[in-house]
């Protein structure tokens, strides 16, 4: 049985609904309407239900992303101002019950306002990363992948082999040739990692999918970061691969577009005590490049258990992410 078959089964839904009701009752709240399932993906599902105090959300990540539940619990302790605080969590089941945090930032500001909105948000995320950097050992114990610079050359080798296995009989001759070319880039990747390993910026939590649809804004204007299921431990600047890469791709920006550089510089300012700005910019660009190795493995973590045939529109995402390591731009998300 695939994850999606399990999560859509009557037995699973009944069990999850019962747990939701129990946890609400323990928190002094009561469900006022039916439970619905707005999200059902290969890597996780979400249920939602109305209450007198607003909707609640039960998130059930897949087994390979189950670290998200204890991660929420840790973030509640060390960075409570920037995250949704769980109503309840069950690490054994891999379930977390969350309050409503408002609508995504991307729905609430216009296209032209997004860069300025990100420039306001990203220093707060940087503060979170600096707080969480003291807890890397705990994060690793939860099962988050180690994608720190010293581990990435090995991760690059793993990604090459794993993408080939994942594609299997679906790989074309062009795919196999592209993987051979990528294998020839190992020395370059290793050199980038060695440079990053000398950084004064400590490793921390990389959300790895931080874009304007994973930042929630309440009616009062409170901003909170959401959806930690792709997280890894890495050089913190790796986060900017998706944050800035998504913005660049969505709106067709060049790497030197001021609308891109503004959010980048606002983020880096929070690390200004750790090195000259030019060095931090260089580290960010390298972190984004090697972060594509992590992105490849994150895609594989989500898709491989279900197989290539069940991956739908995401079938080639692992290969494309790996080929992007040596793309023209450090912010290219696909090769």
pLDDT in tens, 151-173: 999 999 999 999 999 999 999 99
pLDDT at 306 over 90: no
- What domains can be seen in the chain, in order of their start residue? 3-99 (3.30.200.20), 104-326 (3.90.1200.10)
Q: Render pLDDT for 268-296 as a digit per residue (tens, 0 to 9).
A: 999 999 999 999 999 999 999 999 999 99
Q: What integer pLDDT is reported at residue 55 of this predicted model? A: 96
Distances (CA, A) of 151 to 206, 250, 321: 15, 31, 18
CA distance 89 to 95: 6
Q: Across residues 195-224, what is the average pLDDT?
A: 94
pLDDT at 298 over 80: yes
- Average pLDDT over the chain, rounded to an integer: 95
pLDDT at 28 over 90: yes
pLDDT at 54 over 80: yes
Comparing CA positions, the residue from 268, 15, 20, 323 lying closest to residue 125 is: 268
Q: Determine if the pTM surpasses 0.85.
A: yes
CA distance 222 to 102: 9
Residue 284 near residue 126, CB atoms below 8 Å = no
Residue 12 near residue 40, CB atoms below 8 Å = no
Q: Are strands 95-99 and 103-104 parallel, antiparallel or unpaired?
A: unpaired
86-106 residues labelled b (16+ CB within 10 A) or e (exposed): bbbbeeeebbbbbbbbbebbb
Neighbours of 168 (CB within 10 A): 10
CA distance 19 to 306: 26
Comparing CA positions, the residue from 96, 276, 88, 288 lying closest to residue 208 is: 288
Comparing CA positions, the residue from 99, 84, 126, 81 lying closest to residue 28 is: 99
pLDDT band at 335 (very low <50, low <70, confident <90, very high): confident
Q: What integer pLDDT is reported at residue 219 of this predicted model? A: 85
CA distance 174 to 150: 31
Residue 136 near residue 224, CB atoms below 8 Å = no
pLDDT at 1 over 90: no
CA distance 325 to 210: 19
Q: What integer pLDDT is reported at residue 331 of this predicted model? A: 97
**Chain CA centroid to CA 294, Å:** 10
pLDDT at 111 over 90: no
| Helices 152-167, 173-183: inter-axial angle, 10-degree rounding | 170
């Amino acid at each position: 049985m695939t994850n999606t078959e399990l999560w859509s089964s009557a037995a699973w839904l009944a069990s999850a609904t019962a747990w939701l009701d129990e946890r609400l009752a323990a928190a002094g709240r009561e469900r006022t309407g039916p439970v619905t399932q707005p999200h059902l993906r290969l890597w996780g599902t979400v249920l939602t239900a109305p209450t007198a105090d607003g909707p609640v959300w039960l998130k059930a990540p897949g087994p390979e992303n189950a670290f998200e539940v204890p991660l929420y619990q840790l973030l509640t302790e060390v960075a409570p101002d920037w995250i949704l605080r769980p109503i309840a969590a069950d690490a054994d089941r891999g379930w977390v019950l969350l309050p409503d945090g408002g609508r995504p930032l991307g729905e609430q500001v216009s296209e032209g306002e997004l860069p300025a909105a990100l420039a306001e948000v990203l220093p707060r995320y940087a503060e979170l990363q600096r707080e969480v950097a003291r807890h890397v050992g705990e994060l690793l114990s939860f099962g988050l992948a180690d994608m720190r610079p010293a581990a990435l050359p090995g991760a690059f080798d793993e990604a090459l082999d794993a993408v080939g296995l994942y594609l299997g009989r679906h790989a074309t001759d062009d795919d196999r040739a592209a993987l051979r070319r990528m294998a020839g880039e190992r020395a370059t990747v290793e050199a980038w990692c060695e440079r990053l390993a000398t950084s004064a910026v400590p490793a921390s939590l990389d959300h790895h999918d931080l874009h304007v649809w994973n930042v929630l804004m309440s009616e009062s204007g409170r901003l909170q970061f959401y959806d930690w299921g792709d997280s890894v431990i890495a050089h913190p600047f790796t986060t900017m691969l998706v944050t800035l890469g998504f913005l660049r791709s969505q709106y067709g920006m060049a790497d030197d577009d001021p609308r891109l550089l503004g959010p980048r510089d606002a983020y880096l300012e929070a690390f200004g005590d750790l090195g000259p700005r030019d060095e931090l910019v260089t580290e960010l660009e390298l972190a984004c490049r090697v972060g594509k190795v992590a992105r490849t493995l994150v895609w594989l973590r989500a898709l491989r258990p279900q197989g290539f045939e069940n991956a739908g529109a995401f079938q080639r995402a692992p290969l494309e992410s790996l080929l992007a390591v040596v793309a023209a731009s450090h912010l290219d998300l696909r090769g």
